[in-house]
Structure 1
Amino acid sequence: MKSKVVGLDISKNTIDATIVFQGSDESWHDSFLNKEFGFNQLLKWVSNFTLPREVLFCLEHTGYYSRELCRFLDKQALDYALLNALSIKRTMGMRREKSDKYDSLVIARYGLKFYDELKPGSFLQGDLLRFQLLLAHRKRTQEKEMAYQNQEKHLKHCFRNDPSVGFVLSDLKKQRLFLRKHRLLIEAHLDEILINSALKEHYDLLRSIPGVGKITALTTLVHTHNFKRIKDPRKLSCYSGVAPFKNESGTSIRKGTRVSFYGNRKLKELLNFSALCAVRFDPQLKAYYQRKVAEGKNKMSVLNAVRNKIIHRMYATIRRGTPYVVHPVF
């Protein structure tokens, strides 16, 4: 266990750093530029206290702002951990101050306290990064396309045979068709990358599972880092917000099990579509769904169980290395 932690609060232009030591209440702070020159200055500053390789760098997962710093630390073979901002917030207790300097101190203390539970950081690169960016771009395009489509339907319903909305409807249709064309171009680019990608084998295995489409398969590969970061299906169920948890207290509160509000909503939404598709076209899951509903189970509860079954099928297929085989129900 390392007894020295540097907490880093990342913003677009600057990095606030605070170093703390095990068994000491003292801390030291400084600020650096969020670019390679600033990264080197950060290491020189840390060297005034100890060797950089003896330090654990802790930072919140701030997306693109922290990416270059993670790349730099990875290149220097230095240990770092990407932390969940909500986890840090829930362990701070009463807080009266909000500043970048104080945030870096809180992150450092969190890293020192929960060092044994932290996982080494890793960032997406190569094809996984390309898929992540393209999937996010496709999602934004699709949302705009759906917004135009809903507005078009709304106007048609509320202004039937009214010539005053003719131009608006025509323009909405043009915008919708343009976005649809653009979305299809993005999907075609995804297919081009897949052809020569090292992820193609795992992608094909996932696609062999009934209900798992192209977007669901790619999104799963991205969030699990090609099944190297999230190696257990139960952890992916928890991460995606489909794992049920107890909700009990004492002898009076018995609310049964329910899924947690905390989870990756995008992945959960895709898994929901996969489950809806699977209970229609997969003989086993269709029979399972119909049997449980006939027993009086809540439909959404049964559908959530189907989501979990799909996740377990993903991991089983990847571990086995052979496509999923659909068995008929007799």
Structure 2
Amino acid sequence: MQNVHVIGIDISKKTFDACVMLNGKNKKNSFDNNSMGCEELISWIKEFGLTDPHICMESTGSYSEAVADCLYNSGYKVSVINPLQVKSFRLSKMIRQKTDKSDCEVIAMFCLQNCPVLWSPKPRENKELYEVNARIDILKMELNRLTNSLEKEIINKIVANSINEEMQFIKDMIRKLEQEALNIITNSQKLKRQYDILREIKGIGTKTAMTILADMPDVSRFKNAKQYAAFVGVTPSHFQSGTSVKGKSHISRLGSRKVRKALYMSTIVVKNHNNAFQAFVNRLINKGKPSKVIIVANMRKLLHIFFGILKSNKSFNQNLAFHS
């Protein structure tokens, strides 16, 4: 059954706009994006006497997280949705206008018609792990940029020394952050257990295990392994119409690029060195599948396995993973 009372919120850095859909009419208001603004939003919502309203907003990182936390802690039902879903919904409704005022109304309409899954905040340790892991990735990108800058044929000696010193500093910071990530995991019984069972799979390294725990939502938010894999964007996307139009299939890529990148590197190792996957790989080879298709199939298989072991809190079982 659809919610009678829904609220759409469009969030920007300094402000956010809210739209209440009530008895066929829309009530809108703007608030500052801070703790005081959130309190004013809650007071404004209470003025309407709404019955168990469903509040929706787009995922905009730190800008939306504080508002979502505030509303969740106040007892409201909150959904944090992918901006691409709202964009597609807007196009389907042929809505041409795009302002903050119209955006919050579109989000409210989306909430009313689709009743998206409810959101709940990550535990503090998961948030900290995400922050540390994200910082490591940024530093590694900068380290790679500096390494490339040293490959010039002609480079000033002082400049080269400066770059080398900066690279050494970044390497030291990466080591400190990697240790901090391990400390966060070790100090959490749940994270430690999840990390250990992921690492038990031959070929799954520290970076991949950390990325799965830091960037993926808790498995309880997904109904099945297919949804879990779809979140990463490794599910197949087909293009076909009638009998005459048939495009080449590819992975959707509508998901976390960061998780796909970490998973890809582990998949290469698993594919070549994990005996548990050999029969699966050989079967795909015998079917004439290209190398890239085999890699993606293994990425998807790994995500299904991750979902299973994290959901059941049990170690990897080859017989269960590859049963016919």
Residues 20-59 of structure 1 aligned to structure 2 (within 5 Å)? 20-21=21-22, 24=24, 26-51=25-50, 53-59=51-57
Q: What whole-Å deviation, never above 9, does each CA across 1:75-121 have from its counterpart, x for those lacking one? A: 21111111211111111133433321111111111111212xx1111
In structure 2, the CA distance between the partners of 1:295 and 1:48, relative to structure 1 (3 Å rule), is closer
Q: 1:221 touches 1:227 (CA, 8 Å); kept in 2?
A: no
RMSD of aligned residue pairs (Cα, Å): 2.2
Q: Which amino acid aligns with 1:30?
A: N
Cα displacement (A) at 1:242: 1.1
- Are 1:297 and 2:289 matched, yes or no? yes
SS in 1 for 2:209: helix
1:182 counterpart residue number? 173
Counterpart of 1:173? 164
CA contact under 8 A between 1:247 and 1:257: conserved in structure 2? yes
Amino acid at match of 1:57: I
Q: Is the 8 A contact 1:244 1:257 kept in 2?
A: yes
TM-score by length of 1: 0.88
Unaligned 5+ runs, structure 1: none
Deviation, structure 1 residue 278: 0.8
Q: CA deviation at 1:57?
A: 1.2
Residue correspondences, number: 315
Deviation of the 1:225 alpha carbon:
3.4
Alpha-carbon shift at residue 325 of structure 1 (Å): 5.9
Partner of 2:220: helix, strand, or coil? Answer: coil
Determine if contact 1:5/1:56 at 8 Å carries over to the other structure: yes
Contact 1:6–1:17 (8 Å) recurs in 2: yes
Aligned partners of 1:209 and 1:314 also within 8 Å: no
Distance 1:46 1:321 in 2: 40
Partner AA of 1:86 in structure 2: L
- Cα-to-partner distance string for 1:175-201 (whole Å, 9 max, x where unaligned): 222211111110011112222212101
* TM-score normalised by structure 2 residue count: 0.89
> Which letter does structure 2 place at the counterpart of 1:97?
Q
Q: Is 2:61 aligned against 1:60?
A: no
Percent sequence identity over aligned pairs = 26
* Rg (Cα) greater in structure: 1
Q: Is the Cα–Cα contact under 8 Å of residues 282 and 326 in structure 1 kept in the other structure?
A: no
CA distance in 2, matches of 1:89, 1:167: 50
Q: Provide the secondary structure at the position in 1 that maps to 2:219.
A: coil
Q: Aligned-pair distance for 1:290?
A: 5.3
Measured after TM superposition, the shift of residue 244 of structure 1 is: 1.3
Q: Note if contact 1:247-1:258 (Cα within 8 Å) is conserved in structure 2.
A: no
Q: Tell me if structure 1 keeps the 8 A contact 2:237–2:251.
A: yes
List per-residue Cα deviations over 1:142-194 (Å, max 9, x = no partner).
10011111222x31xxx2xx5x5333333222222221111111001111222
Tell me: CA distance 1:249–1:281, structure 2 relative to 1, closer, same or farther (3 Å): same
1:138 counterpart = 2:136: yes
Distance in 2 between the 1:178 and 1:255 partners? 49
* Mapped partners of 1:286, 1:182: distance in 2: 38
SS of residue in 2 equivalent to 1:59 = strand
